Each structure stands twice: as C-alpha cells, then as structure tokens.
Structure 1
Amino acid sequence: MSDRRQRQPWLPPRPVIRLAWRIHRALYRATRGRAGLRPPKPDSWGTLHLTVVGRRTGRRRSVILAYFDDGPNLVTLAMNGWGAPEPQWWLNLQAHPEAAVELPERRGRTRRRLRVRAHAATGGERDRLWDRWRAVERNLDAHAARRPGATTIVVLEPAP
C-alpha cells in the first residue's frame, strides 16, 4: 500500500455515502423538518436545508448540508461526498445565487427560514474559513486531497 493511501482517512464507498444522504433527506421529509437538522456547536458543524433554483429547469431543488455560523453568515463546503465533480446545488447557486435555508433553532424542534445570497469565499476570507472548518473537521485536508481541485467554501449571506 502506498504512503498516500495509508495517510488518507477511510471513507465509505460512494454508493453508501449517497444512500446515507438519501435516507437523511427522507427522514427530514417524513418528519416535516422536525428531524434531520441540527445547529452547530463550537466544536462541530450543524446541518441546514438549502433550497435553490435549478439552472436548467428553473425548478426548486433541495439538499441538506453541513454548515457553521460566521457572524450572520452561514458557511458550507461545495463538495460532492469528496468526489471530483462539483455538486449540482453549487452549480445552481452560481447561476441563481438567491436561495432559501431552513435552520434548526438552538432549542426545541422548531425551524427558522431565511432568504440568502451565496458567494464563494476567496483570498483571506477563504483562508480564515478553511481554518475554521479544520477546527470542526479534523480530517478536512486529507479528505479535500481526494478532489482534483480546491474545494469551494460557500458563504450564504442573509438577503436584504
């Protein structure tokens, strides 16, 4: 086994990752959003529900993503189960940056809905946010090394 393979943390096969996310979304839908989302903690990420407009169809598309708070902004990673292609939700946001998110409240099972506008973090903002991701995801660099290019950090700013 090569040194590169020994240092990379284990990931389940891609079909298993896709099945896990499919089950997660089904749980969210079956409970009408009462389960499946969680707020971030200081040492871990949370999960949010993002709804975007399809760049080709114009139809609403939804996905559940990991995130953390950065002041009023929400920060997530545009990764596709650490696979090479860009995720569809990110391609859709590039075409239509306005979106909606549902967030879990800190207490209880209620949700908060927000309109947001997305942009990719660049320069110093990207470096700072990547360091924050490292603090909550210890294998971030090893997982990101599986992708052929840099993983985009997506900032979701509250829309006016």
Structure 2
Amino acid sequence: MVTTSGFGRVLDRLAPVVGAVTRAHIALYRRTGGRLGHTIPGMPTMLLLDHVGARSGRPRTTPLLYFTHPDDPDDVVIVASYGGHPRHPAWFHNLRAHPDTTVQVRDEVRPVHARVAGDEERARLWPAALATYSPFAGYQRRAEEVGRTIPFVVLTRRR
C-alpha cells in the first residue's frame, strides 16, 4: 500500500505487526469458540467477519469491534472506521461486492446479510457506537478532514 500522509505511512510500517497479531487473534478466537478473543481487556467485544475479496475472490477473516443494533438486538453493527484513514477498509469493499457472509460471535457462527446504514439510521447508531468505543469520534474527525464519512454496516441474520 502506498500512501502519502503521515498517518498512512505509520499504518504502512505497522502492517506486518498488525497482520501477525490479527492472525493470532483469529486463531485463538476460532480455537476457543470465542472464549478468548471475544473480549480483550480495555476493548469492546469483537466478532470475526468472514468476507470474500471483491477482486481476488479469496476468503478472508477480520476481527472487528461490534455492538448490538438498538432497534433489533438480533442484528449487529460494525463500523468501517479504519482508524479514520482516508479510504474505507478492504473488508467494507468486499462486503459491498459480496454482502451474504458469516460472522462468528463467541461460539456462534451465523449467516448474515450486510447492508450499509443510511444517513438517518447512522445518526441513530452513532451514540451506541461511541458508547461501545469512544475513539470512533476522533476517527470520524480525521476521516472528515479528507471528506470521508465512516460507514456503519448492519449485519442481519439470514434465516
């Protein structure tokens, strides 16, 4: 990934470390049925999002913070913040291309359909996002500096 901003250069340098930690997190979460990895001290709850590469078609898994949708407790919401980076995270583009997928929440693997929350729904979800993880506010400020609004993705259980 080639970037020009200072923030982007920091992300680029951290990528190998983040990748190794992420792979370990996924393995631990899967092997323990979420007993380890669903919660991490000082962090909100996490799920594992399975997604398919929009261009590559390769299966991928990403651990993400999530919260329960206030209007429907069976839905979960993930935030495509990417730390306020100028671009959306890859998993967001992958879900737009392939919205039917699975997530693992603790020991439950559930089929879901992903959809991007509209402006009104996003405004209703914003307080729950901040209650879950207050740094989202700073991420949004950083993203707004480059004209990006951070999308919220609602994962609805498929029956």
- Contact map agreement 1:77 1:151 (CA 8 A) in 2: yes
TM-score normalised according to structure 2 size:
0.76
| Corresponding residue number in structure 2 for 1:9 | none
- The structural deviation recorded for 1:72 is 0.6
TM-score normalised according to structure 1 size:
0.76
| Corresponding residue number in structure 2 for 1:128 | 124
| Corresponding residue number in structure 1 for 2:94 | 92
- Residue segments in structure 2 that go unaligned for 5+ positions in a row: 1-9
- How far does the alpha carbon of each residue in 1:80-126 deviate from its partner, in whole angstroms, 9 at most, with x for none? 2331111111101101100110111xxxxxx1100000011113211
Structure 1 consecutive aligned stretches of length 4 or more whose deviation exceeds 3 Å: 15-18, 30-33
| Corresponding residue number in structure 2 for 1:102 | 104
**1:37 pairs with 2:37:** yes
SS in structure 1 of the partner of residue 109 of structure 2: strand
The aligned runs of 1:58-97 (5 Å cut-off) are 58-70=57-69, 71-97=73-99
- CA distance in 1: counterparts of 2:126 and 2:156, whole angstroms: 17
Instruction: Look up the equivalent residue of 1:23 and give its one-letter code.
Output: V
- CA distance in 1: counterparts of 2:130 and 2:111, whole angstroms: 27
How big is the alpha-carbon RMSD for the aligned residues of Structure 1 and Structure 2? 2.4
- CA distance in 1: counterparts of 2:66 and 2:132, whole angstroms: 10
Going by fraction, where is helix more abundant, 1 or 2? 2
Number of residue pairs matched by the alignment:
140
Going by fraction, where is strand more abundant, 1 or 2? 1
